[in-house]
Amino acid sequence: MQCMFALALILSADPGATSPSHPTVDGWMVVSGKQRQLELRADDYRKALVGLVVQYQNPQDSSDRVLVFYRHIALLSERPRENQLSQDSARPVIVVGAGIAYHVKNEQDALDRAEKSMDPFAYVHYHVEIDPHNGQEMLVGSAESWLLDGGGLWAYDSRASLGAIKEAPLSEPIKVLVKKGQVPRCNPKHPIIVGFTFKLGGASHVVRVDQDDLVVVVTKEKSHAK
């Protein structure tokens, strides 16, 4: 993956234009509270973590920001269920709480390890200032965006607004086991979200997990009339 970044070319809406290289955030500070997990949920207990979106701030200029989209190896996590933790009805709250705390710690440890080998696939570089009317940050000037497509090329866009990179859930028909022992079939009436698609102009980048890893194949036995 690193070689792919080194050899990447830049695509632009204007073929004749020379697009700048994406920014680097070495030595930059992570803006507190401005991180977002790329998370997929199968239900209330099972989920997959596939990436991270982080906002960085230039330590020399607090108005200078870069939003970086990362992907990492998919982490599959299943939160303990109450009936799996204890059959002791006298102290279920204590046992459940301890089990969940242990799960959260293990999940965070795994996430910390995964984040050490993350690959960036998108950047957004922009500047902000405080709006005197509401005290909120607002964009100043243009926002530059870069997205790595499936062929290893960097697409580039510059505009006077944020949001050039479009993010959408990626879904596919859920697999259904019609009869035990047979190959599962896809049911187009019941899609399941298995990842995310990011687009910038005509370029796209997909971050996903295998459906079989996210959920247990749904079993639907046929009833046979006699």
The answer to the question of residue 127 being in a domain is yes
Name the β-bridge partners of 30: 56
Range of the domain at 158: 2-162
Q: How many domains does the chain have?
A: 1
- CA distances (Å), 48 to each of 31, 37, 43, 111, 176, in order? 24, 10, 11, 11, 20
Give dist(CA 50, CA 63) in Å, integer.
29
The answer to the question of residue 60 being in a domain is yes
Instruction: Judge contact between 222 and 178, C-beta under 8 A.
Output: yes
Percent of the chain with pLDDT over 90: 48
The answer to the question of residue 15 being in a domain is yes
* Antiparallel, parallel or unpaired: β 185-200 and 166-177: antiparallel
Indicate the pTM of the whole model.
Answer: 0.75
Confidence of residue 177 (pLDDT cuts 50, 70, 90): low
The answer to the question of residue 169 being in a domain is no
Return the biggest CA–CA distance within the chain: 79
The answer to the question of residue 184 being in a domain is no
Q: What is the DSSP letter of 164?
A: -
The answer to the question of residue 132 being in a domain is yes
Confidence of residue 3 (pLDDT cuts 50, 70, 90): very low
The answer to the question of residue 125 being in a domain is yes
The answer to the question of residue 180 being in a domain is no
